[in-house]
Structure 1
Amino acid sequence: MSEAQALLTDAWERGAAHDGAGVCDYASAKANCRIQLEGADGAWPTDEPLITCDRELAADGEYSGGYALRVEGVDSNGQAYASDVLAIGTEDGPRLMNPVFWNSTGIANGNDTSATFDVCA
C-alpha cells in the first residue's frame, strides 16, 4: 500500500495547490484526468483524504491489476466524496487511475463504466 499511498499523497498535494497539470502528472491516462478535472466543477481537495479500505486487484484479461484505495473527504466546495483510486504500473512508472479523487470516482469493472469494483469487499 505504501507506493499507492505515496502517489495519492503527491496527487493530493498538487490538488490542494490547485495544480491540475501536476495532478495529471500522476495519472495513468492524462486525457481522462483532464476530463475528471473539468467534471470537478472548480472544486479541489482540502484536507488529505482518509483511506477507509484498500486491497490488491488482480489483472483480469486486458485490464491492469494494481493496488486500490477507497478514500473519503470533503472538497473545497464543501461536498463530501468517496472515491476509489487504483495505482498501476505503466511504462512511465507507477501511476494512478482516478487521480482526481475528490470527484467521487469508481474503478470500472470491464467496459461498462457503471459497473465498478467494490474496493471494500
Structure 2
Amino acid sequence: MTTTTTRHRSETAEAAAGGLTLFAAVLLFIAGILDLFRGIMAIAEDDVYVSTPNYIFKFDLTSWGWIQLALGVIAMAVSAGLFSRSTWARVVGVGIAGLLIIANFLSIPYYPVWSLTLIALYAFVIWALCVVRREP
C-alpha cells in the first residue's frame, strides 16, 4: 500500500509542478511582451511617460527603452524553455525575472502604475519557479 500511495503522491506532485511551471512560462511570456512594447514606446519617446526631474536613478528614456526591449526579448526566449520544462530555463527565469523587477523598480518615476504591475507579475513568476521541486 505504501508504494501505491507514494506513486500517487509523486504523480500529484509532478502534475502540480508542471502546472506551476506552465503558469510561470505564460506569465513570463506575457510580461516579456509587455516589456517589449514598453521598450518600443520608450525608444519612440512616446508621450505616455511621466517626466520626473528629481529622481536619483535618472536615465535617458531611450536608454530605458533599449534595456526594457532587450530584457523583454530575453524573458520571452526563456519562457519558451519553460514550456519544455527545462531546468536551465527555471534557473534563468528566476534570474531574468529578478533583473526585470530591478529594472521596473528603477523606472517607477517614468511609468509608475505599469512598473508596479510588472513587478507583481515578475514576483509571481519567481514564486512559481521556486516552489516547484523535482522528485529524486
Query: TM-score by structure 2 length?
Result: 0.30
* Larger relative contact order (Cα-Cα within 8 Å, sequence gap ≥ 6): 2
Query: TM-score by structure 1 length?
Result: 0.33
More helix, by proportion: 2
